Structures are given as C-alpha cells and as structure tokens.
Amino acid sequence: MNKNIVQAGASLILEYKNHLKECYCVSGTGRVTDHATGNVHEIKAGVLYGLDQYDNHT
C-alpha cells in the first residue's frame, strides 16, 4: 500500500510492469486516460479505480 499525492495540473504517463494498481481518491478531482483504448475516466473524492494488465495511462 502506498500514499500518493499528485500535484494540481500534473500530467504523468505511468505504466507498472510488475504489479496491478488500485487507487482511492480522498479529495480533489482528475481523470485517468487509458492509452490503449483512449477511454477517459473522471475521478473525484470517493472514487476507487483499478488498472489491470499493466495499463499504460495518464
């Protein structure tokens, strides 16, 4: 388990090759873009999201 803080306005390209990722948004808003599909998921406080298959995402 990790605690990650993403600064406002940050745009990070991420891809974890050795583990799966689950995130819970405690506060704020943002979006996750899946590079393989182009799908954009809106994130806000209270949202739990999971990435599978080592998804390349922003």
Residue 46 has pLDDT above 80, yes or no: yes
C-alpha distance from residue 37 to each of 32, 33, 56 (Å): 12, 8, 10
**pLDDT range class, residue 1, cuts 50, 70, 90:** low
What are 58's two structure tokens? Answer: 């922003």
For residue range 7-27, what is the model confidence (pLDDT) as tens digits? Answer: 788 887 777 777 777 889 999
Question: What one-character-per-residue DSSP string does the chain give?
Answer: -------TT----B--SSS-EEEE--SSEEEEEBTTT--EEEEETT-EEEE-TT--B-
